[in-house]
Amino acid sequence: MAGYLSESDFVMVEEGFSTRDLLEELTLGASQAATGEVAAFFVADLGAIVRKQFCFLKCLPRVRPFYAVKCNSSLGVLKVLAELGLGFSCANKAEMELVQRIGIPASKIIYANPCKQIAHIKYAAKHGIRLLSFDNEMELAKVAKSHPGARMVLCIATDDSHSLSCLSMQFGASLKSCRHLLAKAKRSHMEVVGVSFHIGSGCPDPQAYAQSIADARLVFEMGTELGHRMHILDLGGGFPGIEGAKVRFEEIASVINSALDLYFPEGCGVDILAELGRYYVTSAFTLAVNVIAKKEVFSDQPSREEENSFASKTIVYHLEEGVYGIFNSVLFDNTCPTPILQKKPSTEQPSYSSSLWGPALDGYDCVAEGLWLPQLHVGDWLVFENMGAYTVGMGSLFGGAQACRVTYAMSRVAWEALRRQLLPPEPEEDAEDVCKPLSCGWEITDTLCVGPVFTPASIM
């Protein structure tokens, strides 16, 4: 590691120094703290986010990415994505305030929530945010009254029956209702400029994108017939954020590109957008969480096979975080996260049937069960990978702030890749000696990167 400032929350690392190495240093420091208090924390590899953006630009060159703030509103993520030129998709007033506070212009913000509060619509109107979504008459009427200058995007329903997270039961207008809604908007003097959809997260069939793009083409034609100037197609999200997903991002991109060539060919005058959350942040965040309590439960009547085995004992561990906090992703994704042991057990060490629970005293705060783990102790650390989506900054959904500390890391190579993309070439200067600061406020020296503490609480 090139260097670390404990007050900074940003670490510059050399190639070969992994997130796991940094976690080991931080957990060791937390365990040795004089106060004896330990708290869960994240390590975020911002270089992974930069690499995801380069991959996106290569695979979907015609699509302009917008980041879904509700997925992870940590300030380090927002600042890096802002540097990369992304727009931002906001679900409420708190998120709009947050991105505007870091300098995002209103023209790069979408208020993409079909269930908007009137006060939030008025905030968008006052602060120049004009692109809003809708999928029903009531939402259209609310915007027409509180933000008559808005440019509306009609959200259509999709076939997301095979997705892990289905949205069409709540959001999206059916094709049968679209002509009526477009006509209603015309009578209300509201401008409809485009169509959006969301196939849901974890969709195993990339052809769902192709079908939704075809449906959007039909709605474009309806709108044009009714006198709307349709020029925005929003592909929504649902893109995988981890390696090893059932459907790779490159496969989805190939299907999308083919469908766009067929229904919205290059030069047709339509601006193609997408609202991505998980894609950028899931794999970038790793969580370290402490075991705060344990309980051994023995079988009342063990079988003869169990009497002389370890199967007769089940161990219940309590963590300092549960499904009502950081692990709410368990509820979002209906998944059971598998921990990585910070201390590697010996090969002779037996494993026990184990379950992980949060600190809440109820039967719902179960993080994971059915695990086989070696004997753990109070104070041991567990590490969870792929924890960037719907874990950090969830308080923004309710106007709150994320309290869990995030330590951001970026390799020097990723930093240089980001800097070269953003700054004009300066052939007279040696990048090893002179590194210009980025507008986010981070500045690298020869040995370490220093900057402000980037936590949402610091700007609320």
The two structure tokens encoding residue 126: 């006052």
Is 162 a known active-site residue? Answer: no
CA distance 24 to 286: 12
Output DSSP code: residue 149. T
Q: Residues 13, 410: contact at Cβ < 8 Å?
A: yes
- Pick the catalytic residue from 93, 275, 318, 321: 275
Mind giving me the DSSP string for 320-333?
A: S--TTTGGGHHHHH
For residues 85 and 104, what is the distance between their CA atoms, to the nearest angstrom?
Answer: 10
Instruction: Name the token pair of 218.
Output: 């039909």
Task: From the candidates 70, 142, 184, 228, give the one annotated as an active-site residue.
Answer: 70
Tokens 């000696």 belong to residue: 433
**Non-local CB neighbours of 244 within 8 Å, separated by 6+ positions:** none
Catalytic (active site) residue 147: no
- Residues 80 and 453: their CA atoms lie apart, in Å, by 14
Structure tokens at 298: 């023995």
User: Burial letters for 333-362: b for 16+ Cβ neighbours within 10 Å, e otherwise?
Assistant: beeebebeebeeeeeeeeebbbbbbbeeee
- Give the active site residue among 52, 198, 228, 318: 198
Separation between Cα atoms, residue 219 and residue 224, nearest integer Å: 9
- CA atoms of 113 and 155, how far apart (whole Å): 10
**Buried/exposed 292-301: b ≥16 CB within 10 Å, e otherwise:** eeeeeeeeee
> Encoding tokens for residue 181?
């809604």
Relative orientation angle of helices 137-146 and 118-126, to the nearest 10 degrees = 40
Residue 330 CB partners (closer than 8 Å, separation 6+): 323, 336, 337, 366, 367, 368
Catalytically active residues, by annotation: 70, 198, 275
